[in-house]
Chain A
């Protein structure tokens, strides 16, 4: 697979079931170092404390959305190269384009399966 299975991954979602689903899928793919945050603000704090190899974030969250988190990450000198995958239930083209312009590396539409998650992680972090 060419992936560093030891890389820390941050899962950001305000819906705990989705966090649990993504955690389990990542575990099945072999990733063990997975943290989570329930919105962009909490995620940003964690990103400043620890170096993550990948952020997997929902879009719709309060008080800070995934889109705002992405813009913060891309504007931060220390975080700007962190791979970022957006996961959302909405797939309107204009939103995907907005996320792409803001610097997202990939975009997954819910519901998704392990294979989709795996292929996106490979596309973003693969050797």
Chain B
């Protein structure tokens, strides 16, 4: 936008300089117009600098994004650990000898308590996910404010060849992951396709 304004100013100024060379009187209004344009450009650059500062990009990539990354990593680990504990307990229960019912009952109850304990991961992961949502909301808010403040338009950059290859492969061979609620078809509908 700034370079366009400068180009426009230069184009308007050029014919008038020729007039000056030929000895004609140069109207003062042109200098004022150039000054006004340059002031606008300076204002725009100043506003842009302010908006870039308000974006606090350093804080986003040093704190917010790594924060979200760490929280999600912890969620994955906590979920895997809890699942492992629950499955271990369940597998042990399935393998218990039930000849002595008293011993069997006591052992099963002990392992069931371990399962309850492991299920507490849901509370912790819920809190971690809330933090991720908070980080992402901060990023979204700042980017959206910046985009509208500078009237940003997305450019059509040529895709990175490696990224393009990965994307094509993903589109052809991979699925998009679990369906959202209400999306996709039921097992009964799928079964009908195989009848």
Contacts and interface: CB of A to CB of B under 8 A. Distances in A.
B174 interface: yes
Given A59-B175, A100-B193, A100-B194, A92 B187 contact: no
Q: How large is the interface on A (under 10, 10 to 19, 20 to 34, 35 or more residues)?
A: 20 to 34
Given A91-B186, A92-B185, A96-B185, A60 B194 contact: no
Given A24-B91, A24-B94, A91 B185 contact: yes
Interface stretch (B24-32, B138-146, B150-158, B176-184): B176-184
A118 to B, nearest CB: 13
A107 B194 CA distance: 8
A90 B91 contact: no
A106 B194 CA distance: 7
B45 interface: no
B116 interface: no
Interface in A37-70: 59-60, 65, 67-68
Contacts of A21: 87
Interface stretch (A4-12, A76-84, A108-116): A108-116
Contact of A17 (B87, B179, B183): B87
Nearest to A109: B187
B93 to A, nearest CB: 11
A20 to B, nearest CB: 6
B35 to A, nearest CB: 61
A90 B175 contact: yes
Contact of B176 (A28, A90, A123): A90
Contacts of B176: 90
A21 B94 CA distance: 13
B83 interface: yes
B111 to A, nearest CB: 15
A50 to B, nearest CB: 25
B80 interface: yes
Given A17-B87, A90-B178, A92-B185, 20 more contacts: A24-B91, A28-B94, A60-B174, A60-B177, A65-B173, A90-B176, A90-B177, A90-B179, A90-B184, A91-B184, A91-B186, A92-B184, A96-B190, A96-B193, A97-B193, A100-B194, A105-B194, A107-B193, A107-B194, A116-B187
| Smallest CB-CB A-B distances: 9 pairs | A91-B184, A89-B178, A90-B175, A65-B173, A17-B83, A109-B187, A91-B185, A107-B190, A96-B190
